[in-house]
Amino acid sequence: MAAMKKLVVGNWKMHGSRSVNAELLQGLLAADLSTSAPRADVAVCPPFVYLADAVAALQGGAIAVGSQDVSVQAQGAFTGEVAGPMLRELGVRYTIVGHSERRTYHAESDQLVADKARAALSHGLVPIVCVGETLAEREADQTEAVVGRQLQAVIDTLGADLVRVVVAYEPVWAIGTGKTASPEQAQAVHAFLRARLTAAQADAARVPLLYGGSVKPDNAAELFSQADIDGGLIGGASLKAADFAAIARAA
C-alpha cells in the first residue's frame, strides 16, 4: 500500500555557495511546483550553514527545507553538532539520518541512526531514515539482511512513533556512481521494507518509502510508478533546478 502523495527530497550534500544556492532556489520557485507537481511534496536539504537562507527564500511556498543530519543531543557541550531544537527554530521540517556517507565516513551505527530518528521526532522534525547495501553485500545476496537489520533498529527504538518517519532505500553502489537499481530491483527491496514495517505495526504500512541512487529526469517516472516507491531522495540531480523540477513532476 503506497502513500497517497509522493515525496521528493533533494540532498545537496556539501555543495553550494550563497550565490549558487540563490540561483538554484530561484529556479525552483520559478518552476512553480505547487502547480506543476501538485501530487508531490517537495523538500531540499542544503548544508547547515545555508539552511537559514533556504528557509527565507522558500518561506510560504510549496517547498519545505530539511537538514542533512541532526544530533541525538538537545543541547550541551557537543562541539560541531547541531540540535533538533535549533533546526526547528529555523523552520526546518525534515532531517536526513543514517545516510550511507554518514554510516561509512563517520562510523554511525544502526542504533545511533535510530536514536537520531527518535531525537528528530521529539523536536518536531520528520526523520528520513536511510538504509542500503553495498555492492559486495548485494553480490553476496545480503541485501535483505542488511536493510532489514538497519530498519529493525529503528522499529525497536521508535515503537508507536514508527508511523511518523520516512524511509529512504539508497543502495550504496548506486549513489553518485551513475548506476541505478532497475525499477524491479528497487521495487523488490521496497516491498520487503513495506512488509517489515507492516509486520511491526499495521499503521506503518503508510510510511513513505523513497528511492535514492542516481535518480534522473529520464528514469524517475518509471521508478516512481512502482507499487511501493513513494518518491525519491535525490542527490546530484537536485543541484540543477530544471532536473529536480522534472523529477518532482514525474512523481
With a cut of 50, say whether residue 3 has pLDDT above it: no
Residue 206 falls inside a structural domain: yes
The reported pLDDT for the residue numbered 174 is: 82
The CATH number of residue 167's host domain is 3.20.20.70
What are the tens digits of pLDDT across the range 51-90? Answer: 999 999 999 999 999 999 999 999 999 999 999 999 999 9
Residue 178 falls inside a structural domain: yes
Neighbour tally for 249: CB within 10 Å: 18
**Which is higher by pLDDT, 26 or 34?**
26
Mean pLDDT to the nearest integer, 211-228: 94
With a cut of 80, say whether residue 49 has pLDDT above it: yes
Q: Which of 143, 151, 132 is nearest to 200 (CA)?
A: 151
Confidence of residue 128 (pLDDT cuts 50, 70, 90): very high
* Domain membership of residue 156 as a residue range: 6-250
Residue 189 falls inside a structural domain: yes
Secondary structure of residue 167 in the 3-state scheme: strand
User: What would you measure as the largest C-alpha separation in the chain, in angstroms?
Assistant: 48
Residue 27 falls inside a structural domain: yes
Mean pLDDT to the nearest integer, 145-174: 96
Q: Cα–Cα distances in Å, from 87 out to 29, 120, 127, 196? A: 22, 10, 12, 30
C-alpha grid cell, residue 24: 538554484
Residue 240 falls inside a structural domain: yes
Residue 60 falls inside a structural domain: yes
With a cut of 70, say whether residue 4 has pLDDT above it: no
Confidence of residue 1 (pLDDT cuts 50, 70, 90): very low
Q: Cα–Cα distances in Å, from 101 out to 4, 68, 98, 223? A: 30, 11, 8, 23
Q: Which of 82, 8, 66, 60 is nearest to 244 (CA)?
A: 8
CA dist., res. 167 & res. 215, Å (int): 16
Confidence of residue 177 (pLDDT cuts 50, 70, 90): confident
Query: In three state form, how does the secondary structure of 39-105 look?
Result: CEEEEEECCHHHHHHHHHHHCCCCEEEEECCCCCCCCCCCCCCCCHHHHHHHCCCEEEECCHHHHHH
Q: How many domains does the chain have?
A: 1
C-alpha grid cell, residue 122: 521529539
What are the tens digits of pLDDT across the range 157-171? Answer: 999 999 999 999 999
Residue 1 falls inside a structural domain: no
Instruction: List active site positions.
Output: 99, 170
Secondary structure of residue 209 in the 3-state scheme: strand
